[in-house]
Amino acid sequence: MWNYEKRLQYPVKIKNPDPKMAQVIISQFGGPDGELAASMRYLSQRYAMPYHEVCGVLTDIGTEELAHMEIVSAIVHQLTRNLSVEEIKKSGFDKYYVDHTLGLWPQSAGGEAFTSKFFQSKGDPITDLTEDLAAEQKARTTYDNILRLIDDPDIIDPIRFLRQRELVHFQRFGEALRTVQDHLDAKNFYAFNPAFDKAWQPSREGEHNSGNCGCKQNHMK
Amino acid sequence: MRYSKKELLDYINVVSFAVDDVKLYLDTHPTDEAAIEYFNNYQKARNQALKEYAAAFGPLTIDTAVIRSEFTWATQHWPWEWEG
């Protein structure tokens, strides 16, 4: 379960509304490499993950992504507060406004709705963690792209924080992938899927190594 | 109270971030003694500051809320608001 904490992980205090920038930054709320997709990806992947330390990484990063989603949402909210109809028309925010007024709705910068098609939960630890490594880099690139478009220090500051976290998460997922590989057959990491092939469970490692596991794959050599 | 409301919230953000970051590190280095000591120090500082903040200015977590005549958890300002 989760408990809410009534503060942002990193403070957001934007003096000047800018609906044009809000339309770009909203992609990190509900876009293909956004924080909502990141959180749902990691939290969904936990259930097929056979190793406790890696479940810890997925849980704690998946939870932090929810906090990042809230930071991005706060940025978009503050960039669109108190807008006049004139400002809405002039900035091109009218296409969003007509469907959502000044409410937050998860979409990409191009207006595409949030969907679980943005991420995968494959049920294979190596595959899932390799996706997670790519996801952190894609989010980092998106923040780099956003940083090239903005010059307001009130926006740059929290965006830089979020970008930096992508690098830390990438590092931790790399260590998690290494942990998974340490549990596997070093001669062939792909000999079996430890989340599916029941003969291979962490608690039965000894039996497996002795060749009595009943695995169909010929990975014992 | 030594801190203003803003100072104490800034302090909570700092020590909480230290906990957030070392927590991820400990997930993949669960027996690192220096990191465990760091975690214990910042976790203690965070819990203490959350209690002080709740007593003086209102709750940030439901577990530290001190509720008397009004349910301040809901009625006080929310973190995304520019005002407040």
| ipTM of the prediction | 0.96
**pLDDT class of A200 with cuts at 50, 70, 90:** low
Mean pLDDT value of segment A185-214: 71
Please report which confidence band the pLDDT of residue B54 belongs to, taking 50, 70 and 90 as the band edges.
very high
Q: Average pLDDT, stretch A56-74?
A: 98
A87-106 pLDDT, tens digit per residue, is: 999 999 999 999 999 999 99
- What number is the average pLDDT over the span A27-51? 98
What gap in Å lies between CA A138 and CA A34, rounded to an integer?
Answer: 9
Q: Which two tokens stand for residue B22?
A: 């070392």
A69-92 average pLDDT score: 97
**pLDDT score recorded for residue A205:** 52
pLDDT of residue A154 exceeding 80, the answer is yes
Percent of chain A, pLDDT > 90? 89
Q: Does residue B74 belong to the interface with chain A, where contact is any CB pair within 8 Å?
A: no
C-beta atoms of A12 and B80 within 8 A: yes
**B24 near A57, Cβ under 8 Å?**
yes
Which of A1, A2, A3, A7 should we substitute to test contact with B (largest number of B Cβ atoms within 10 Å)? A7
pLDDT at B2: 73
Find the angle CA(A148)-CA(A21)-CA(A103) to the nearest 5 degrees.
Answer: 150
Nearest to A7 among B12, B30, B82 (CB): B12
Regarding predicted confidence, which is higher, A215 or B15? B15
Q: Give the confidence band of B83 by pLDDT, cuts at 50, 70, 90.
A: confident
Task: Evaluate if residue A167 carries a pLDDT over 90.
Answer: yes
Query: What is the arithmetic mean of pLDDT over B20-43?
Result: 98
* Contact between chains at A5 and B61 (C-beta distance less than 8 A): yes
Query: Residue B1's pLDDT band (boundaries 50, 70, 90)?
Result: low
Which residues of chain B have a CB within 8 Å of the CB of A7? 9, 12-13, 16, 60, 79
In the stretch 61-80 of chain A, residues with CB closer than 8 A to chain B read 61, 64, 70, 73-74, 77-78
Q: Count the alpha carbons within 13 Å of A141 in the hemisphere toward its beta carbon.
A: 8
What tens digit of pLDDT does each residue of A98-148 get? 999 999 999 999 999 999 999 999 999 999 999 999 999 999 999 999 999
> Is A199's pLDDT higher than 70?
no
- pLDDT value at A202 more than 70: no
Work out how many CB contacts closer than 8 A connect A with B.
67
pLDDT in tens, B4-15: 999 999 999 999
Whole-model pTM: value is 0.92
Average pLDDT taken over every residue of chain B: 95
Mean pLDDT confidence for B43-67: 97
The residues with which A5 forms a beta bridge, in sequence order, are B61
Looking at CA atoms only, how far is residue A212 from chain B in angstroms? 31
